[in-house]
Amino acid sequence: MEYLVEYGVFLAETVTIVIAIVLIIGSIASMGSKNKKQTEGHIEITNMSEDLSEIKEGMLEEVLSEEEYKLLKKEKKQQEKSKQKEQKQRLKAQKARLKAQKKAVKSVTSPDKQTSEDVEKTVETSDATEDSSDQAPNPEEKGRLFVINFDGDIEASEVENLREEITAIVSIADEKDEVLLRLESPGGLVHAYGLAASQLSRIKAANLKLTIAVDQVAASGGYMMACVADKIIAAPFAILGSIGVVAELPNFHRLLKHNKVDYEQHTAGEYKRTITMFSENTEAARKKFKQELEETHDLFKQFIEQNRPALDIAKVATGEHWYGTQALTLGLIDEIQTSDDYIVSRAEETEIFEIEYHVKKPLAERLTFSVHSAIEKGFLSVWKKNIESGLFK
């Protein structure tokens, strides 16, 4: 027992020293970065097409015989040469078309230098080259698929990253491109998820197709985001729906009254406060609070109706949630499919890029988190050892 006490004192002293060191280093780091932006971040782009191709190539090399693999490599090389040849032809036709168009424009601006027959001939040449360029296959015309992720908490705190990712995509994407959002969220604050949904609306405003994939859950505010999509796909047992509004809080009025503690709250405006945690709540206050919840629910339903007009909102806006297969029947989603299946299915026809915005945390914050994790693991380790040795019963 004496050993245990000594060990506890030693552990407490060690933790105190470590915390003191972290606070000192954190203070120095904070002072050094006082005038620097703490929210500096950068966009990271991963070519998922290349990653998938490498995985496939590695698997084929392992499962095929040496002769079969060599033959496959030869066929692939021929296909790549054919693609490169087609691309060169397309670029050559495009250059000819642009040259003919410039010549046609020049002839219109300087009619005295060319006869009408020359102009007609130039226009015909322009049309012919344009037709030839249309016939030539263009691998770039198939568009790109941009993949982004959103793992939502109650405050939808990832909306800041989402904003930067969408801004980056919109700045380079065109109408041939598509955005896939892999969404996971049980919902949270109304205004926070309202902003997240508004960020997704920017994608559609830019005339880009938006597909949202739900592998596990998109409920309440999560579904508010999902309904913005042109297409919603979900795994068979993903949870969707929960189109409702909830608010709950404890009331300590009787506890304060029992302990003879007075609580005062002063407001200007009849409904500045309705339900509170410390005052005695009246029926009038409860009625007003309930009215506010109903109004929020109505706005929620209107938003979903605007984005999915075919949905029977009266049937699904009950606060209930459903699994993927049930959600498909109700019209909450459009297809049963996981995000992985969707990405793999598109890999053959388009280039796929994953876009992620990363923020570099300040040194003090990183140190604090690391030490906190270390201390937590240390205590758990000691507790586990003591449990195993039978010291705590």
**Is 85 in the active site?**
no
Mean pLDDT of 91-112: 72
What sign does the dihedral 259-264-265-271 (CA atoms) show? positive
CA distance linking residue 104 with residue 128, whole number of Å = 13
Q: In sequence order, which residues have a C-beta less than 8 Å from that of residue 151 and are 6 or more positions away?
A: 158, 184, 185
**Is 272 in the active site?**
yes
Burial string for 277-291 (b: 16+ CB within 10 Å, else e) reads ebbebeeebeeebee
Mean pLDDT of 285-308: 95
Task: Give 41's strand partners.
Answer: 359
Domain ranges in the chain are 2-40+362-389, 51-140, 144-242+320-359
Q: Which is more confident, 381 or 182?
A: 182
Query: What pLDDT, on a 0 to 100 scale, did the predictor assign at position 172?
Result: 94
CA distance linking residue 215 with residue 125, whole number of Å = 53
Mean per-residue pLDDT over the chain, rounded: 81
The tokens describing 9, both together, are 């004192």
CA distance linking residue 276 with residue 265, whole number of Å = 10
Q: In sequence order, which residues have a C-beta less than 8 Å from that of residue 216 and are 6 or more positions away?
A: 184, 235, 238, 239
Q: Which is more confident, 103 or 380?
A: 103
Pairing type for strands 178-185 and 144-151 reads parallel
- 7-38 pLDDT, tens digit per residue, is 566 666 676 776 767 667 666 655 555 554 44
Mean pLDDT of 241-260: 90
Phi and psi (nearest 5°) for 212? -120, 130
CA distance linking residue 303 with residue 194, whole number of Å = 10
Q: Which CATH architecture has domain 144-242+320-359?
A: Alpha-Beta Complex (3.90)
Q: Catalytic one among 272, 288, 361, 385?
A: 272
Q: Catalytic one among 49, 185, 220, 339?
A: 220
Query: What pLDDT, on a 0 to 100 scale, did the predictor assign at position 393?
Result: 37
Task: Give 234's strand partners.
Answer: 214, 336
- For residue 48, give the 3-state DSSP assignment: helix
Query: What pLDDT, on a 0 to 100 scale, did the predictor assign at position 91?
Result: 81
